[in-house]
Amino acid sequence: MVASGVGNRYNTTYDYEFISHTTPGTRMTYSQVGRSGVRVGRVALGTLNFGPETSAADSVRIMDRALELGINLFDTANVYGWQAGRGVTETIIGAWLAQGGGRRDKIVLATKVYMQTGDGPNDGGLSAHHICRACDASLRRLQTDHIDLYQMHHVDRATPWDEIWQAFATLQRQGKIIYAGSSNFAGWHLAQAQEAARARHLSGIISEQSLYNLCYRQLEMDVLPACRQYGIGVLVWGTLNRGFLADPARDKARGPRAAERLQREFARFGDNLAAYVRLCGELGARPADVATAWALQQPGVAAVIAGPRTLEQLEDSVRCLDVVLDAAALRALDEVWPGPRGPAPEAYAW
């Protein structure tokens, strides 16, 4: 992406364009992450399912195929693995990286810190103590000497920003991390973080990873405007609303919790979904592809994170790159899924 505007790096509204570079044999396009110089494919690989839902062998096949498709941002977290064991996902990725073949050099490796990793009082949060220890543990599991994008998995309201940035700066000086990112932050948390970083002459956050889809568009009120102001690239997860915007019937078999959630979504958005499916038919595109293409066309969005359970789902995830929504289609989608009608405070004040 190319940033445009006048002003310093913390006082500019950034507008981005796609970079035309493609990987030979793929249709992947790339964008810069916020005001940083690093480029990532517009579809990223999320690894949430590696371990609990997807076997290690199938995870390896998915990662190998992701490289072939031109996907270079691999996103994980130190707690992924969940019921299979926290850290299991990083371990699977580490074993894949250890196979060599230039795998490590071909990807932008992202993981996260914040969630509770043990039973101790300092086994979670964003204290300098936990950040540094958690980073070392992730490096061991990932079998690498550095993390490209180290993301705060949640805001820590109890730890001062001076301490957080001290820890990140230490890790950067040690060569253990390159960039800092955030996830699940509100707009004012991003402002807090960036202003504290500026006071320490640090580059601060380059990316914010957030839930964003046609059903849930709250991000437009403050997070997206804050990201554009500070030059923070947005990495979107949940574009299909856990399958609701793709094929709800397919997810009914995933257990009682999934069925209960689908029932709630149908009660809230059933009429919208029916209108949406009709609109996608008129556009000649699958609902899943339209939902993801819509997210990719929102200002400031660097990439969408696909979280496949199977190789087939990975293949499906890049089909959105073939869908370009014109102004009329975007207006029609706004009519079906209205959203907050603009940024704050206008979204709720007038």
| Of 346, 321, 325, 345, the residue nearest 337 (C-alpha) | 325
Instruction: Answer for the pair 155, 186: CB distance below 8 angstroms, yes or no.
Output: yes
| Euclidean distance between the first and the last CA atom of the chain, given in angstroms as a whole number | 33
The partner residues of 182 in beta bridges, in order of sequence, read 152, 208
Instruction: Answer for the pair 128, 163: CB distance below 8 angstroms, yes or no.
Output: yes
Instruction: Answer for the pair 88, 53: CB distance below 8 angstroms, yes or no.
Output: no
Instruction: Answer for the pair 85, 52: CB distance below 8 angstroms, yes or no.
Output: no
Amino acid identity of 264?
R
Instruction: Answer for the pair 305, 44: CB distance below 8 angstroms, yes or no.
Output: yes
**Catalytic: 212?**
no
DSSP per residue over 216-232, as a string? --GGGTTHHHHHHHHTP
Secondary structure element (H or E) that encloses residue 91, with its range = helix 88-97
Phi, psi of 82 (to 5 degrees): 40, -115
Token reading at 193: 């973080």
Q: Which of 14, 16, 30, 80 is catalytic?
A: 80
Question: Residue for token digits 């973080």?
Answer: 193
Q: How far apart are CA 60 and CA 243, in angstroms?
A: 23
Q: How far apart are CA 16 and CA 343, in angstroms?
A: 18
Secondary structure element (H or E) that encloses residue 75, with its range = strand 73-75
Q: How far apart are CA 65 and CA 45, in angstroms?
A: 11
Secondary structure element (H or E) that encloses residue 165, with its range = helix 161-173
Amino acid identity of 137?
A
Please list the active-site residues: 80
